[in-house]
Amino acid sequence: MSKTYLLTGGTGFLGSLLSIKLIKKGDNLGNAFLCTKFHVYPETGYGNILKQSLENILNSQKVETINQEVYDGQHECRKCQWVNSCGGGCSFIRYALHKKFNAPFMYCGARKTLFQHIRKRIFKKETD
């Protein structure tokens, strides 16, 4: 059984939406990640709430570095008309495919096409 606790705070432009994943396998690991999906990549862990204070984790260089890499990876996204719908893509998919947070988002083109189609359909219905 696992529990996920979402906390907000942190440093950097994006701040941190931080998931604390407590994996119960006889013990609680207490590892903190950008998103719960990252638990499969231990090297992406922010720290461990059983060994460090949450304040120290949120103010750590590792959190700042990851946040900056995520921000850098969303450079093109910030100029896109769909950023509020898309959110800049999934950091986990970026990392899973490229082992870095600032890689291009593979579904960017597909999402743009989908959002354009949806907008056309909505405006078409309004004019009918």
Query: For residue 88, which of 78, 102, 99, 98 has the smallest C-alpha distance?
Result: 78
DSSP letters of 57-114?
HHTSHHHHHHHHHHHHHTTTGGGSTTHHHHTT--HHHHHHHHSSTTSPPTTHHHHHHH
Q: What's the pLDDT score for residue 28?
A: 57
Q: What's the pLDDT score for residue 128?
A: 55
Question: What are the per-10-residue average pLDDT scores of the chain (128 residues)?
Answer: 41 41 48 84 88 87 90 88 88 93 91 93 72
Give residue 113's Cα distance to chain centre.
Answer: 22
- pTM for the whole thing? 0.69
Q: What's the pLDDT score for residue 25?
A: 30
